[in-house]
Amino acid sequence: MGIGADFLEAYGRVQADAGLGEGASPVRDLASWKGFVAACAEGYDDALPDYFHDLRVRDAIERGLVAESLVGMEGFGDFSRAVRVIDERFREIATVRISLADPSAFSWWCHVVPGRGGDDFADGLRRHFGVTIKIIEG
């Protein structure tokens, strides 16, 4: 992936301006998103609050995708394509829809969860959203 120094720096500024502090990296965020999706594919095995915390990396990525200051920069296209690939994998895995109180306040990746997970995750989904997923053996 061809992400140059200017894109890295500008992405960090976008995230810092959003209050995420210094040192945000598109490479690190992509790796985190990919790792999260891989964990979901195996069956998410943490508690429901952890799931939504881990999912926040996709929010940061979206800030980078929609930031006018980044669009068109060298590296933006590679970054965008890499996100699309991981997003498609997540869409294949996260097939269980959940009902949110204000759906318009959340992006598409918050409206779905993986169909497999650990006991705690499954229990949280059942209690909070009334959905049932397959429980993986730990």
19-28, 34-43, 53-62, 124-133, range with the lowest pLDDT = 19-28
82 touches 1 (CB < 8 A): yes
Residues 54-83, mean pLDDT to the nearest whole number: 95
DSSP label at 74? T
40 touches 114 (CB < 8 A): yes
Give the Cα separation of 48 and 52 in Å (integer).
7
Give the Cα separation of 37 and 85 in Å (integer).
11
Buried-state track 33-67, b at ≥16 Cβ within 10 A, e below 16: bbebbebbeebbbebbeebeebbebbebbebbbeb
Question: pLDDT tens for residues 35-54?
Answer: 999 999 999 999 999 999 99
Enumerate residues 6+ apart whose C-beta is below 8 A from 16.
Answer: 22, 24
Which band of pLDDT confidence, cut at 50, 70 and 90, is reported for residue 138? low
2-16, 83-97, 123-137, range with the lowest pLDDT = 2-16
Give the Cα separation of 122 and 114 in Å (integer).
10
From 83, 92, 69, select the one nearest 29 (Cα to Cα).
83
